[in-house]
Structure 1
Amino acid sequence: MKWLSFRWLAPAMMLLGGCALEQPVSARDATARSTYVTPALWEVKDADTTIYLFGTVHVMKPGVDWFKGGVKSAFDRSDELVLEIVEPEDPNGLASTMAGAALARDGVKLSDRLGTADRASYQAAMSTNGLPWQAFEMFNPWMAGMALSVKPLETLGYKSDLGAERVLTAAANASGKKVGALETVEQQLGYFAGLPMEQQVKFLTATVEGLPDMDREFASLVTHWQGGEPDKLAAEMNESLEATPELARVLLIQRNANWVRWIRQRLDQPGTVFIAVGAGHLAGKGSVQEQLKALGVASARVTQ
Structure 2
Amino acid sequence: MKKIFYAFMLLLFCACAKSNAHTPMLWEISGKNMHRTSYIFGTFHTKDRKINQLNSSVYATLKHTQRVYTEIKLNKKNAKKIFSMSRLKKPVPLKNRLHYKTRKKLLLFLKQHTSRLTFNALAQYKTWAIAMMMNNENEKKVHKNRLFMDEMLRAYAKKKHIKTGGLESPKEQLVYFDRLSNTQQEQLLLSVINKLDNKAYENALTQWYNKGNPNGFLTIQKRFSSHTLKQKKLDKVLTQGLLIERNTRFARRIDILLQNVKKYRYFFAIGAGHLSGKKGVLQKLRVLGYTLKKID
State the TM-score bracket (shorter-chain normalisation). Answer: 0.7 to 0.9
Specify which of 139, 148, 152 is matched with residue 125 of structure 2: 139
SS of the residue corresponding to residue 86 of structure 1 reads: coil
List gaps (5 residues or longer) in structure 1: 11-33
Given the superposition, is the C-alpha separation of residues 158 and 138 from structure 1 closer, same or farther in structure 2, using an over 3 Å criterion? same
Whether 1:163 and 2:148 are equivalent positions in the alignment is yes
Partner of 1:26: none
- Offset, 1:285: 5.0
Letter in 2 for 1:126: L
Deviations 1:265-285 (A, max 9, x none): 223131321101111111235
**1:73-112 correspondence runs (5 A):** 73-89=60-76, 94=79, 97-105=81-89, 108-112=92-96
C-alpha distance in 1 between matches for 2:276 and 2:70: 17
Once the 2 structures are TM-superposed, how far is the Cα of residue 122 of structure 1 from its aligned partner? 2.7
Equivalent runs, 1:223-234 vs 2, <5 Å: 223-234=207-218
| Equivalent residue number for residue 184 of structure 2 | 199
SS at match of 2:73: coil
What corresponds to 2:38 in structure 1?
Answer: 51
The 5 Å alignment of 1:1-304 reads 8-9=6-7, 35-46=20-31, 47=33, 48-64=35-51, 66-89=53-76, 94=79, 97-105=81-89, 108-130=92-114, 131-155=117-141, 157-158=142-143, 161-213=146-198, 215-240=199-224, 243=232, 244-268=235-259, 269-270=261-262, 271-284=264-277, 286-293=279-286, 295-304=287-296
Q: Which amino acid aligns with 2:68?
A: L
CA distance in 1, matches of 2:52, 2:128: 33
- Please list the CA deviations of residues 112-158 of structure 1 after superposition, one character each: whole Å capped at 9, or x if unmatched: 22333233223332333223123212332112111122212233x33
Q: CA deviation at 1:288?
A: 0.9
Deviations 1:243-290 (A, max 9, x none): 322122222221111111102222313132110111111123532123
The percentage of aligned residue pairs carrying the same residue is: 24
1:188 aligned counterpart, secondary structure = helix
Aligned to 2:13: none
Is the 8 Å Cα contact of residues 110 and 139 (structure 1) preserved in structure 2?
A: no
Q: Secondary structure at the match of 2:23?
A: coil
- Superposition RMSD in Å: 3.1
The Cα shift of 1:49 comes to 4.1
More deviation, 271-280/176-185: 176-185
Task: Give the C-alpha shift of residue 63 in structure 1.
Answer: 5.0
Give TM-score scaled by structure 2 length.
0.77
Q: CA deviation at 1:105?
A: 4.4
